[in-house]
Amino acid sequence: MILEPTPANLTRAIMALREGGLVSFPTETVYGLGARVEDERAVAEIFARKGRPSFNPLIVHVDGVETAKRYVVWNDAAEKLAVVFWPGPLTLVLSRAAGSKASLLASAGGDSLAVRAPAHSVAQSLLKGLGEGIAAPSANKSGRISPTRAEHVAEEFGDDLLILDAGACEVGIESTVVDVRSRVITILRPGSITREQLEHALGTPVATLTRSDGGKLASPGMLESHYAPTLPVRLNATTVEANEALLAFSGNVPSGAATVRNLSPSGDMVEAAANLFAMLRDLDQPQWKAIAVMPIPSTGLGEAILDRLQRAAAERKAS
Ligand code: TXA
Ligand code: MG
């Protein structure tokens, strides 16, 4: 339902987020589809609703620098840029803080996390009222253009999604995404803040991620050094050996594994996605020979889960 951002409706949206629901909210760039960043299952639900065939990392929206520091390792470049451009359409990619409570899916299993403080007053009220970060991609189905009006969001997601309506977004194009982890600051996605503006604020040149081989622009999310287990990954395991760790799915678990984690005993794909990265890390211990993974259906989020597991298996083979 499309709601005006009255105080009562903001409270309603905050309650929905606290209960693990999704809320679409306006920012100065485009509308976002948000979930509590500390609720892994709610973040998994974002991927389910977007219909993404793979896990792309998500921007964590925060009210400002202090909240960002709960999730990422802050540094001088981040500080310089935040002083000038926050709140506003600039997203900073930083390393996850040790003990960060941010969803692992928001990092797509990697060690970095993107943070941005939006300038829009409705986004700010929502973030302040909630008291934690909101993971949010643009509120469009996978492969569609970003929505700049509440009606666009409703067209894509239907009437059951709570959408806070603040009219048309002022900027209309997405935030600039900048990797500030190393000495060379790199634009991963051009956006409403220009390279010249960034260079002026930093006093140093800024690189732009250029077209790689074949002229195809690699998606920033794909360039991330994603977490790959150290152990070999064996897919479609229907039996398991005594020295293997088992990543199970559903209730029909083969016996005999050294240790077992079950993505979802009831076969729920959203639960499985929410558990994926944490369970892979849990099982990746040097005392086992391999991680055996039970067959997982490719329906719904299964496609993204399988994409991640297939890459984990292939990355290990390649090295
Ligand atoms: O203006 C915006 O940025 C909007 C509003 C809602 O804030 N959000 C948005 O999110 O455009 P999304 O998910 O549609 O695009 C986020 C971009 C993607 O290109 C993603 O790959 C990149 O940011 N990104 C997110 N986290 C990243 C990370 N840890 N490392 C590298 N790239 C990341
Ligand atoms: Mg998008």
pLDDT for 220 equals 45
pLDDT for 209 equals 86
DSSP 237: -
Q: What is the mean pLDDT of the chain?
A: 92
Closest C-alpha among 142, 128, 308 to residue 224: 308
pLDDT for 192 equals 87
Kindly list the protein residues whose Cβ atom lies closer than 6 A to any atom of ligand 1.
27, 29-30, 32, 56-59, 89, 91, 93, 107, 112-114, 116, 118, 136-138, 174-175, 177, 188-189, 219-221, 224
Q: Which residues of the chain have pLDDT under 70?
A: 211-227, 315-319
Three-state secondary-structure class, residue 176: strand
CA of residue 247 to ligand 2 center, whole Å: 31
pLDDT for 53 equals 84
Task: State the amino acid at position 187 in one-letter form.
Answer: I
pLDDT for 144 equals 87
Task: State the amino acid at position 11 in one-letter form.
Answer: T
pLDDT for 212 equals 53
Place of tokens 């390649």: 318
Round to whole Å and give the CA distance between 213 and 253. Answer: 43
Q: Please name the residues in contact with 118: beta carbons below 8 A apart, sequence gap of 6 or more.
A: 27, 28, 29, 61, 87, 88, 89, 124, 127
